[in-house]
Structure 1
Amino acid sequence: MQPITPLLISAALLVAPLVAPPRALADTDSIVLGMGCFWGAEKRMAAVPGVTDVESGYAGGDAAQAGYRDVLNLEKALRRGRSTQRNHAEVVKVTFDTDQVSVEEVLIAFWENHDPTQGDRQGNDVGSNYRSAIYYNSPAQQAAAIATRDTYQQALSAADYGPITTEIAPLRHYNRAEAYHQDYLVKNPDGYCGLGGTQVAYPGQPEKPAPQRLNAGDLNPERQLIVFEAPDCPYCEQFRAEVLDDWRSEVPVASTLAGQPPEGWQLDKALFATPTMVLFEQGREVSRYTGYSGDKARFWQWLGQRILTPEQRRIAFEQGTERPFTGSHLDEKRPGAFVDPITGAPLFRTDTKFNSGTGWPSFFTPVDGAITLHEDHSHGMRRIEVRSASSGIHLGHVFNDGPPPTGERYCINGNVLAFVPD
């Protein structure tokens, strides 16, 4: 084959048909939104049809340049009264194809995917850097922000939410966040999201099926624990797997996706994060535990502080000891299990109980996996402390002067045992 010379190439180009110019790039616009932690905000806004890019960043503060550490350090200084600067908010820069989605539709997704009534917080994240914000780049965006805010406020007010606290201001001092913050939940699917929304639909949008409130008639009016959950809440799933799925406590428990208590029951204050565990007595909130990150013992201690008597709390949480022959279950001989008074987890069985003559219930072996042992050097003695594995509460001590077959004597305070007959 004859090689093509430069002259032939030039001639070929001269006679080649003209190539049509590429299709013009789509018209795009962008708006900067603060919805709390930008990891979850990035994920939620990227799911909106017509959105072409979502970038995490910082905006709205006084400093022209700022990064993650700058924002955190300034927030600490603000809390201590050592600065009067306006801090940046964690934000997402949402770029969208205006032929596919309008700025109003982007803002509707913004309103529905977080709670804009919480001020300087979003769920578990507290601080001015987590404020709700709309930073616009044109008068048209400003008008859309105000109009959609006023419309959504009507829906929120009808659902008993307070006033919207979202900052609406011109964009200033935008800084792109560090690379490891970009697409964070794509790279870390089980990472923290922090957004739950209010479940209140924007007027005119398809109504979301409202979660049903619990029926008070199905609950225990004297004492009832209610776990308030949310869809797509990894910490709710963790609490369910680690605590709820094996619930044996004598305190009745129920869970709900509704953000309101049963009709006629009363919360002490609004919920702001999930999961939130609320203890009700006589239909009124008496205590709550907000959030969960795997510390089961801390949760059980919170519940125990409310349901145990002062004497039980002294033993359980202060390593106290009841006076001999004064505690419960000393003469209990029925077949059954002695259980943790908070969690209900079995600790010892009657067929391992014996009369030691010491004045405390004594056992020669525990239920498998029910206890943990710890060195105790209090009162100038060297002893082995016995704690409940499920709640971590103090039970007593173990000594090597028990009967066969183990030769051990688990000397346990009867007041921190509950008995469940077979």
Structure 2
Amino acid sequence: MTPTQKTDLKTDFIVLGMGCFWGAEKRMGEIPGVVDVESGYAGGDLPGAGYQDVLDHERALRTGKATARNHAEVVKVTFDPAKATLETILGKFWESHDPTQGDRQGNDIGSNYRSAIYYHDIAQRTTALATQAAYQAALDAAGIGWITTEILPVKNYIAAEEYHQNYLKKNPGGYCGLGGTGVKYPKPAENVAQSDVPADAAGSSLKSRTPLDSGNLNLAQQLIVFEAENCEFCRLFDQDILNHWQAEVPIVATMNVNPPAGWELEKPLFAAPTIVLFRDGREVTRYTGYNGEKANFWKWLGFQLLSPEQQKIAFQQGTEPPFTATNLDEKRPGKFVDPITGATLFLSNAKFDSGTGWPSFFDPIEGAVTEHEDKTHGMRRVEVRSASSGIHLGHVFNDGPAPTFKRYCINGNVLKFVPDKK
């Protein structure tokens, strides 16, 4: 078709990311009513970038040498709405790749291969969200995970180099890279609900996806766990972390992918679970994914909650100067807890004045601490760590009082004192 013929048609377009654009171009070009499919780059902060620029930037991101958001490989799908509705286009989009993989598609790994729908008006956004909810319900029924597709306004679209256009037509045996979930898009075009979250698309999952009410949250500091149904990693996080939560910072879990009204995520969610720390309604940092690495999670949270002095002790086996801990002379009835997890480590009735300048205890709560051989500084000592978070607390020596004759010499700056309630 000539450029003149294209402009005579009343067409529309949408920009889609499905991994490698070679296979995406072929798949979307097979839809009756599609006028043209063009490979390109979009969604990033690199105006004028080309193929090598995108690859180089992804490597820089992975090595910590860049922070700007990278483009996704995309296809710009131009279609005749009289012959192919936007839902038809998006139905093929959902079926033709795996939208649950985050920053990858099959063997192609990186944020440049993310799943994405980039719309250019509010009607397209509405339809995109409706089809996403419909397809998520189908994935839920099949026991497949959470959609990670980002749905955003189109930004910085750039047509790819000529050798990328119609690549698989030019190279019939070339690499495709696309593999769908095997789940069909479930709804005919005439039944798409025209709302952000269609009531009939999410089915029984809708209640669990109700947006959080910001009025019930702590504006100053709040953790939100964004989970997904049929997510084994979410269940593992709940089992390891959430179900035992004692930390001072409040936490809540939700199946809804959106933040509370008026609160802001820094970027779309890409995997479940994603744990986001909000302050004053804005995302401060996030922990994405979980596969049983409890120490890593608590270390991430610790770097958000602890002061630099506390971090040096907790994560670098530092030691505070003697006689400087504010709780050194604390004698009230109560407990000393892990400053990150809130787990009780020592009771005040096990505390004694050792004269060393550090808070000292003759007995910890059973199972609250772990002991490890320490050969640093030319000495042989026994290091004490918190069993719940893994942070360094101090050392234990065999010169304490009865009945244990142990002296747990602990850095007071990594102990939080909680007095008993009167």
Q: TM-score range by the shorter chain?
A: 0.5 to 0.7
Of residues 271, 276, 280, the one that matches 2:274 is 276
Q: CA, structure 1 residues 264+154, in 2 after alignment: closer, same or farther (shift >3 Å)?
A: closer
Aligned-partner residue type, residue 114 of structure 1:
P
Q: CA deviation at 1:330?
A: 1.5
Q: CA, structure 1 residues 411+115, in 2 after alignment: closer, same or farther (shift >3 Å)?
A: closer
Q: 2:389 — aligned with what?
A: 391
Give, in whole Å, the separation in 1 of the partners of 2:93 and 2:328. Answer: 65
Q: CA, structure 1 residues 244+202, in 2 after alignment: closer, same or farther (shift >3 Å)?
A: farther
| Runs of 4+ with deviation above 6 angstroms | 76-81, 103-106, 167-171, 174-177, 200-203
Q: CA deviation at 1:328?
A: 2.6
Whether 1:336 and 2:321 are equivalent positions in the alignment is: no
Q: 1:155 — aligned with what?
A: 127
Give, in whole Å, the separation in 2 of the partners of 1:403 and 1:153. Answer: 69
Q: 1:355 — aligned with what?
A: 353
Q: CA deviation at 1:317?
A: 1.0
SS in 2 for 1:351: helix
Of residues 169, 172, 191, the one that matches 1:204 is 191
Whether 1:224 and 2:196 are equivalent positions in the alignment is: no
Alignment of 1:164-179 (within 5 A): 172-173=172-173
Of residues 99, 103, 108, the one that matches 1:114 is 99
Q: CA deviation at 1:203?
A: 7.1
Let me know the Cα RMSD of the aligned residues: 4.7
Identity of aligned residues (%): 54
Q: CA, structure 1 residues 390+115, in 2 after alignment: closer, same or farther (shift >3 Å)?
A: closer
Instruction: State whether residues 124 and 291 of structure 1, in contact with CA within 8 Å, keep that contact through their aligned partners in structure 2.
Output: no
SS in 1 for 2:99: coil
Q: CA deviation at 1:79?
A: 6.6
Give, in whole Å, the separation in 1 of the partners of 2:250 and 2:365. Answer: 24
Question: Normalization by structure 1: what TM-score?
Answer: 0.60
Q: CA deviation at 1:415?
A: 0.8
Q: CA, structure 1 residues 111+173, in 2 after alignment: closer, same or farther (shift >3 Å)?
A: closer
Of residues 294, 297, 321, the one that matches 1:296 is 294
Q: CA, structure 1 residues 161+389, in 2 after alignment: closer, same or farther (shift >3 Å)?
A: same
Q: CA deviation at 1:365?
A: 1.2
Q: CA deviation at 1:163?
A: 4.8
Q: 1:73 — aligned with what?
A: none
Instruction: State whether residues 155 and 203 of structure 1, in contact with CA within 8 Å, keep that contact through their aligned partners in structure 2.
Output: no
Where does the alignment leave 5 or more consecutive residues of structure 1 unmatched? 1-33, 37-75, 82-102, 134-150, 186-194
Give, in whole Å, the separation in 2 of the partners of 1:202 and 1:244. Answer: 41
Give, in whole Å, the separation in 1 of the partners of 2:128 and 2:372. Answer: 52
Of residues 243, 257, 279, the one that matches 2:255 is 257
Residue by residue over 1:202-258, the C-alpha shift from the partner in whole angstroms, topping out at 9 and shown as x without a partner, is 773473245221111111111111111111211111111100000000010011111
SS in 1 for 2:95: helix
Q: CA deviation at 1:115?
A: 6.3
Q: CA deviation at 1:335?
A: 2.4
Q: 2:236 — aligned with what?
A: 238
Question: Normalization by structure 2: what TM-score?
Answer: 0.60
Aligned-partner residue type, residue 259 of structure 2:
P
Alignment of 1:9-408 (within 5 A): 107=92, 110=95, 114=99, 121=104, 126-127=109-110, 155-156=127-128, 161-163=152-154, 172-173=172-173, 204-205=191-192, 207=198, 208-209=201-202, 210=206, 211-408=209-406
Aligned-partner residue type, residue 156 of structure 1:
A
Give, in whole Å, the separation in 1 of the partners of 2:384 and 2:296. Answer: 18
Q: CA deviation at 1:269?
A: 1.4
Where does the alignment leave 5 or more consecutive residues of structure 2 unmatched? 1-16, 20-54, 61-87, 117-122, 131-149
Give, in whole Å, the separation in 2 of the partners of 1:123 and 1:387. Answer: 40
SS in 2 for 1:161: strand
Residue by residue over 1:117-157, the C-alpha shift from the partner in whole angstroms, topping out at 9 and shown as x without a partner, is x7x63699833896669xxxxxxxxxxxxxxxxx9765227
Q: CA, structure 1 residues 201+390, in 2 after alignment: closer, same or farther (shift >3 Å)?
A: farther
Give, in whole Å, the separation in 2 of the partners of 1:269 and 1:303. Answer: 19
Residue by residue over 1:292-347, the C-alpha shift from the partner in whole angstroms, topping out at 9 and shown as x without a partner, is 11111111001110111111111111111111111032122222221100001111
Residue by residue over 1:78-104, the C-alpha shift from the partner in whole angstroms, topping out at 9 and shown as x without a partner, is 9769xxxxxxxxxxxxxxxxxxxxx98
Instruction: State whether residues 153 and 163 of structure 1, in contact with CA within 8 Å, keep that contact through their aligned partners in structure 2.
Output: no
SS in 2 for 1:245: helix
Give, in whole Å, the separation in 2 of the partners of 1:263 and 1:271. Answer: 16
